């Protein structure tokens, strides 16, 4: 990456982080959409101006990405990337570039933070539970021989690793309240009357830790999935890290694969330790954020080249 590109990328990262914070910010229009006072309130506290600035900066970035991809002099990679695929679908349609940019933004916002946040929670749990880390490494290293690199095809056979990811998503769903819903009609839930047009947040974080549904819910114990068929594809309501129904994450398979593959690669190629002088009790598991629930503090780990490839 040359200097100018690096600058643009750094700027994008900054605007992207600002967008994530702005999306989680309290907006009067979100909570009182019918009230004319809400818009006035959001303007007064500067939220509308902030949204507009972030929108213009993101729009300029996506415009640049599209121009680069449509440049006839561009050296094309061997296979089309997501942007190429979207451009091909869009070509010949009587549409502006706006839907294209919106789709790219959805993929960026929906795809990048969720997967990286999940990976960080997984590594945090593994460093606190060394027996689980060792068991997952044994499975991977016994399957993928020395000096070979892990392939996506290997994932289907990594049963324990998949349980580790499932357990991570149970305890740490990156989108703890899903996307907001609105009731269409009057409903009664557990004796409470919910009028139509009420905004609903589904707390999947709390559902994943419900002691009525889960034995020792606070414990990180991937083996709990060994003999039960509960999965995260939206039909088992006790485990909904990707949501359910019409708004379920459209990239559920891609998201799960990214996390499984990256985690498996990290565990295959490296041994992981805490920095000298730190114990697992020092690793804070405090989280923060409403839209995306991530670690509050950075996770510091020391990788070293694996000492032992095959465990007994
Ligand atoms: C560990 C990975 C991921 C998790 C846990 C996750 C989780 C979620 C959740 C909970 C929702 C809301 C579903 C609902 O409310 O029912 C969602 C929506 C969405 N996700 Fe994901 N996601 C992940 C990865 C990805 C990836 C890789 C992409 C794209 C490349 C993506 C794109 C989207 C989009 C575009 C939506 C919005 C769908 C809509 O508005 O209807 N996600 N995701």
First and final C-alpha spacing in the chain: 43
**Exposure of 206 in the CB half-sphere (CA atoms within 13 A):** 4
What pLDDT, on a 0 to 100 scale, did the predictor assign at position 124?
A: 98
What pLDDT, on a 0 to 100 scale, did the predictor assign at position 214?
A: 97
Averaged pLDDT score across all residues of the chain = 90
With the most atoms of ligand 1 within 8 angstroms of its CB, the residue from 86, 109, 110 to mutate is 110
**2 — pLDDT class (breaks 50, 70, 90):** low
Closest ligand 1 atom to the C-alpha of 244?
A: 16
What does the pLDDT look like over 41-96, one tens digit per residue? 989 999 889 989 999 998 998 999 899 999 989 888 889 998 999 999 998 887 88
Ligand 1 midpoint to CA 112 (Å)? 10
The maximal CA–CA distance of the chain, rounded, in angstroms, is: 68
d(C-alpha 125, C-alpha 299), whole Å: 11
**4 — pLDDT class (breaks 50, 70, 90):** low
Give the residue among 222, 246, 243, 221 at the shortest CA–CA distance from 232: 243
What pLDDT, on a 0 to 100 scale, did the predictor assign at position 26?
A: 75
- What the block records as the tokens of 124 is 């945090």
d(C-alpha 285, C-alpha 124), whole Å: 8
What pLDDT, on a 0 to 100 scale, did the predictor assign at position 19?
A: 82
pLDDT at 3 over 70: no
pLDDT at 146 over 70: no
What pLDDT, on a 0 to 100 scale, did the predictor assign at position 7?
A: 64
Q: What would the DSSP string read from start to end of the chain?
A: --HHHHHHHHHHHHHHHHHHHHHHS--HHHH-TT-HHHHHHHHHTTHHHHHHHHHHHHHHHHHHHHHHHH-TT----SS--HHHHHHHHHTTSS--SHHHHHHHHHHHHHHHHHHHHHHHHHHHHHHH-HHHHHHHHHHHHHHS-TTPPP-GGGGGG-HHHHHHHHHHHHH--SSTT-S-EE-SS-EEETTEEE-TT-EE---HHHHTT-TTTSSSTTS--GGGGTT----SSSS-TT--TT--GGGS-TTHHHHHHHHHHHHHHHHHHEEEEPPTT--GGGS---EE-SSS-EESSPPP-EEEE-S-SS--
C-beta separation of 41 from 58 below 8 A: no
Q: Please give the CATH architecture assigned to the domain spanning 102-305.
A: Orthogonal Bundle (1.10)
pLDDT at 12 over 70: yes
Pairing relationship of beta strands 192-194 and 187-189 according to DSSP bridges: antiparallel
What pLDDT, on a 0 to 100 scale, did the predictor assign at position 13?
A: 80
What does the pLDDT look like over 292-306, one tens digit per residue? 899 999 999 999 986
What pLDDT, on a 0 to 100 scale, did the predictor assign at position 289?
A: 81
Instruction: Kindly report which listed range (24-38, 222-236, 241-255) carries the lowest average pLDDT score.
Output: 24-38
Annotated binding residue at 294?
no
What does the pLDDT look like over 177-231, one tens digit per residue? 998 888 999 999 999 999 998 888 899 999 999 999 999 999 999 999 998 999 9
168 lines ligand 1 (CB under 6 A): no
Query: Mean of the pLDDT values across residues 232-256?
Result: 95
With the most atoms of ligand 1 within 8 angstroms of its CB, the residue from 242, 244, 293 to mutate is 242
240 lines ligand 1 (CB under 6 A): no
259 lines ligand 1 (CB under 6 A): yes
- What the block records as the tokens of 311 is 């465990």
pLDDT at 9 over 80: no
* 181: β partners: 200
């Amino acid at each position: 990456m040359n200097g100018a590109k690096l600058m643009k990328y750094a700027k994008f990262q900054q605007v992207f982080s600002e967008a994530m914070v702005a999306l989680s910010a309290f907006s009067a229009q979100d909570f009182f959409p019918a009230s004319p006072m809400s818009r006035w309130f959001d303007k007064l506290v500067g939220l509308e101006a902030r949204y507009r600035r972030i929108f213009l900066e993101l729009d300029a970035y996506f415009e640049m990405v599209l121009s680069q991809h449509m440049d006839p002099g561009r050296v094309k990679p061997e296979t089309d990337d997501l942007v190429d695929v979207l451009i091909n679908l869009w070509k010949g349609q009587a549409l502006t570039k706006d839907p294209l940019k919106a789709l790219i933004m959805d993929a960026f916002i929906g795809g990048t933070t969720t997967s990286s946040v999940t990976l960080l929670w997984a590594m945090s749990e593994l460093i606190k539970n060394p027996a689980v880390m060792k068991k997952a490494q044994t499975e991977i290293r016994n399957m993928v021989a020395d000096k070979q690199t892990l392939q996506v095809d290997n994932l289907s056979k990594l049963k324990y690793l998949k349980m580790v990811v499932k357990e991570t998503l149970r305890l740490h769903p990156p989108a703890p309240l899903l996307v907001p819903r609105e009731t269409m009609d009057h409903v009664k839930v557990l004796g409470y009357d919910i009028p139509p047009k009420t905004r609903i947040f589904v707390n999947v974080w709390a559902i994943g830790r419900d002691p009525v549904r889960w034995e020792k819910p606070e414990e990180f114990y991937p083996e709990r999935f060994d003999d039960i068929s509960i999965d995260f594809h939206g039909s088992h309501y006790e485990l909904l890290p990707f949501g359910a129904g019409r708004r379920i994450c459209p990239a559920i398979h891609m998201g799960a694969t990214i996390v499984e593959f990256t985690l498996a690669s990290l565990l295959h190629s490296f041994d992981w330790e805490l920095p000298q002088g730190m114990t697992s009790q020092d690793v804070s598991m405090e989280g923060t954020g409403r839209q995306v629930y991530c670690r509050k503090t950075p996770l510091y780990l020391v990788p070293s080249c694996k000492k032992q490839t095959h465990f007994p």
